[in-house]
Structure 1
Amino acid sequence: MKWLKSLMLCIIMTTSVMSQEMEYTDEIKSFQEELNAFYKSPEESPLSKKDLKRFQSHDFFDIDPDYKVLADFKVIEYPIFTMMKTSTRRLSKYKEYAIVNFELNGKPHQLTVYQSTKPPSEPKYIDYLFLPFTDLTNGQETYDVGRYIDLKIPKGDTIVIDFNKAYNPYCAYSKNYSCAIPPEENHLETQVKAGIKSSNL
């Protein structure tokens, strides 16, 4: 009977893991669908009328849960303000909010997380954080300037960073936008094969 109990326990655990994987896949697919819907919307899309007509979908890497990492989140005690370069001559002001440390592709990494100095346009953005980054896929499989991830201020000293939710700045699709360029310290010496790929327009 012991073997039967062990078998049942194994089946239950396997089913639970498969269920969690399916839920996670659905979560990322939902994110991708929402991003596509935004770019297809005539009222919201940053695309030109010409590009909007031929836009079908963004190109994404395969969903990979290994690119969802738990990072140590250390708030910078004394706020540091930085003028971030953009794709135009304009400089964009951000507050260096926290330092995150995590492991990805078997190596330790560190990035700086930023907060906009502008008042949030809506209450839901009050705890919004901005993570711009570059990696070794830029200029090949992904946009050469870099990509972004949206985060929220965590309640504790850890934060989940999901690179499957990495997206391109607007300037990847149009020169009419001025987009923040990830600073040098936010370069990852690894390939991040997750999230959005280069613009296919």
Structure 2
Amino acid sequence: MKNICLILCVLLTSYGYSQEKKEIPGETEFQKELNIKYKDVSTSPLKAKDLKTFKGLDFFPVNDTFKVKATFKKTPNSPIFKMPTSTERKPEYRRYGIASFMLNGKEFSLEIYQNQSLMKQEEYKNHLFLPFTDETNGFESYGGGRYIDLEIPEGDTIEIDFNKAYNPYCAYSDRYSCPIPPRVNFLKTEINAGVKVFDKH
């Protein structure tokens, strides 16, 4: 009987340690989901050598100041254009609308786009794409700008949570082709939210 109890204690202790090791870092669900994706070899954009030592992405502290409610003006007659990328690939996008908002006492606006190929897939029919740059790029955040995924809003407002800003895959490996944020989407301020620059090994 004593032996059985001892075995059970060892098993429970081992289970506890394994649970601790599997704990995914992240302050929010978004951060945890991103870390899970990047830790999984089948979905991670990381190079093999970086994946071996990967413990989690580095994020700015979550700050509700960078969660804004923007006025959203749709632009239904905007032309389809080919968005430049880090390679010769030029996917087709259309400016779906313009979001205007206040941040730290200043007024800003950003163009929000819809991928013409992606929208044909049921899963992404309501998906919108927001690429942007700001004054943290090349310092605290990736030099090539960052992205935010959005959904088509029902009304004339849209919530933009910069805490959910993530890096293009090009920030982790040069094997990817990433859209380059248009100049019009440069924010003359520091967006200290979302994913920080990746420390490559």
Q: Same fold (TM over 0.5)?
A: yes
What is the match of residue 105 of structure 2?
106
Matches within 5 A, 1:17-56: 29-56=28-55
Structure 1 unaligned segments of length 5 or more: list them. 1-26
The aligned counterpart of 1:172 is 171
Aligned counterpart, 2:20: none
Task: Check whether the contact 2:118–2:124 (CA below 8 A) recurs between aligned residues.
Answer: no
Give the structure with higher Rg (CA).
2
Task: Output the amino acid matched with 1:123.
Answer: E
CA deviations over 1:92-123 (Å, ceiling 9, x no partner): 22111101100112100011000001044752
Show structure 1 runs of 4+ deviating over 4 A.
none
Unaligned stretches of 5+ in structure 2? Answer: 1-25
| Counterpart-to-counterpart distance in 2, 1:82 and 1:198 | 29
Q: Distance in 1 between matches of 2:96 and 2:172?
A: 28
Counterpart in the other structure of 2:67: 68
What CA deviation, in whole Å up to 9, does each residue of 1:73-104 have, x standing for no partner? 11103032222111122222211110110011
Distance 1:38 1:122, change over 3 A: farther
Q: How does 1:45-194 map onto structure 2 within 5 Å? A: 45-120=44-119, 122-194=121-193
Q: TM-score, normalization: structure 1? A: 0.83
Out of 50-59 and 117-126, give the one that drifted further. 117-126
TM-score, normalization: structure 2?
A: 0.83
Distance (whole Å) between structure 2 residues aligned to residue 148 and residue 119 of structure 1: 16
* AA in 1 matched with 2:89: R
Which stretch shows the higher mean deviation, 173-182 or 81-90? 81-90
The one-letter code of the counterpart of 2:72 is F
Partner Cα distance (1:41, 1:35) in 2: 10
